[in-house]
Amino acid sequence: MGLKHLFKAKLDWNSAKKETISTAKRYTKTHTIAIEGKSILNVSAAKVFKGDPSLYNPEDLLLSSVVSCHMMSYLYVCSQNGIEVVSYSDEAEATLEVDSNGSGRISEVRLYPKVVIAQPEKISEALNLHQKANQLCFIANSCNFPIVHFPVCSAN
């Protein structure tokens, strides 16, 4: 194996009880994650899991990591292949499956990248480079679920 890099995150949570209608003991899911030198992330569970819907949740962050890493890998392979990317957008989706015992998993991520390039003659190549980007993507290589691409490319 080549180079290794260490990433660190500090999580802080306190045991303040969340007010509930039921008598069941329930704790707030809100917490902070700090990465040295960066803004604090305020995180909670997804709304469906009784979290604060105004905050990021782990599923949001996982999907954001996949879509962001794919874009950066794609821009890299385009630069390696002489393709000038003018703009890139994506409206990615992740499916979370929850089992009856409360466990669950992300079962699939779908990426819908919309790319505009400068060279119309390279549209086909630009579309094909999404597969190469997926093969290089650090986050995609760390996931145990399929990441499916539905790219669109045009030229200006």
Q: What is the pTM of this model?
A: 0.89
Q: What is the mean pLDDT of the chain?
A: 94
Confidence of residue 23 (pLDDT cuts 50, 70, 90): very low
pLDDT reading at 18 higher than 70? no
Q: What are the tens digits of pLDDT across the range 38-90?
A: 999 999 999 999 999 999 999 999 999 999 999 999 999 999 999 999 999 99
Q: Cβ–Cβ contacts within 10 Å for residue 57, how many?
A: 19
C-alpha–C-alpha distance, residues 65 and 59, integer Å: 10
* Euclidean distance between the first and the last CA atom of the chain, given in angstroms as a whole number: 41
Residue type, 82: G
